[in-house]
Structure 1
């Protein structure tokens, strides 16, 4: 089966470090966790430097909101671009416009795809997200050591705490370069001085025009001696990936100078032996 998602890619926004919060703000609109200090300014540029993964969620009575934790292995995640908020690890793809004004996160109408969710808990997850991520929410950024946290408080008193995980752009210090890689259905044995019988992905570069149509001549097949961050290859599946390619500053002597990070799987096809 072959699935082409390339036409959806043009709608995806590219995800600028929370300043070191050594001097907490005089006050914060949400309660500050013990041992954490408040970051005084909240700007879209700060929000977009992190993937915000849900760590805790409690209602006004202190009860945990279990409906928001239907996927324990894949916590609800918020990704911010300049003016767009995308929800990751929900059942459907969800997103909305947003702005930050006077310590309030203003979220526009949440839009979502309409796929059927495989179970009741996943379906309830989307509803639980949509009911809380809308309108005006009190927002605070907290810093505990090197780990930033974002706290959202709804008008009804629900408190959601998100843990910041640096984006690849933040980690590598630049926006990276977008490229497409085709991954062959089977990996190949490749030479590595420290790993006998090492298996490498077999890849080649692909090119697409602004309409998502293949263009030009694919590059030559060659083994990739490193991992693609965020990608797990299934033997027998040929995949086309949109990836971000980053230059690694001061790479180790025996390590790669380039890092590849998965953006999205554009195309996937089972190849019969």
Structure 2
């Protein structure tokens, strides 16, 4: 139990440290103008696709390198509804991470709120550990979906001083 508590505390500190190392710009990054108008998200659109990370940058334009250490296994968000005997719970899983990461989510006023984040606590080598920490930091923010014509939708997560774009991938 002591090891689990230590591991949870270490993971929490790592996510906090990652967020704390970012600088606050005077103007946050904005999505590419060719993506079309951003629309509020809903569970139907989120669950219709898997969402594969294609770009993640800090507000100063620098790429968030830990998220791209293995191009063959990009961060992918998988939104689902888990049906139990008593209720339905909307969940998101973060795929291709070293640890199994996920959270419950809800949509309030067009915004995605992550709750009760869960993680296994395996001891991961350095690139994977940084990938996991960067994953938990980048999924916090304002979610929106945009689509240009018949192209696949793009999910954008605008953080305090980060922006990430995920392409829709058929399930």
TM-score scaled to structure 1, two decimals?
Answer: 0.46
After superposition, what is the alpha-carbon deviation per residue over 1:95-133, rounded to whole angstroms, capped at 9, x for unaligned? 00111222322111321111222x311111111112333
Residue 47 of structure 1: how far off its partner (Å): 0.4
Higher Rg: 1
**Larger helix percent:** 2
Residues 1:133 and 1:36: Cα distance change in structure 2 (over 3 Å): closer
Number of residue equivalences: 134
Q: Which residue of 1 aligns with 2:63?
A: 64
User: Residues of 2 paired with 1:35 and 1:71: CA distance?
Assistant: 27
Q: Larger relative contact order (C-alpha < 8 A, sep ≥ 6)?
A: 2
Instruction: Deviation per CA, 1:209-260: give whole Å up to 9, x if none.
Output: xxxxxxxxxxxxxxxxxxxxxxxxxxxxxxxxxxxxxxxxxxxxxxxxxxxx
**Mind listing any 5+ residue stretches in structure 2 that lack a counterpart?**
1-28, 82-89
Secondary structure of the structure 2 residue equivalent to 1:85 = strand
Does 2:99 match 1:92?
yes
1:138 aligned onto 2:134: no
RMSD: 1.7
The counterpart of 2:120, out of the listed 110, 113, 116, is 113
Indicate the residue corresponding to 2:159 in structure 1: 154
So what's the TM-score if we normalise by structure 2? 0.72
Structure 1: unaligned runs, 5 residues or longer: 1-29, 168-273
2:133 aligned to which of 127, 137, 148: 127
Structure 1 runs, 4 residues or longer, greater than 6 Å off: none
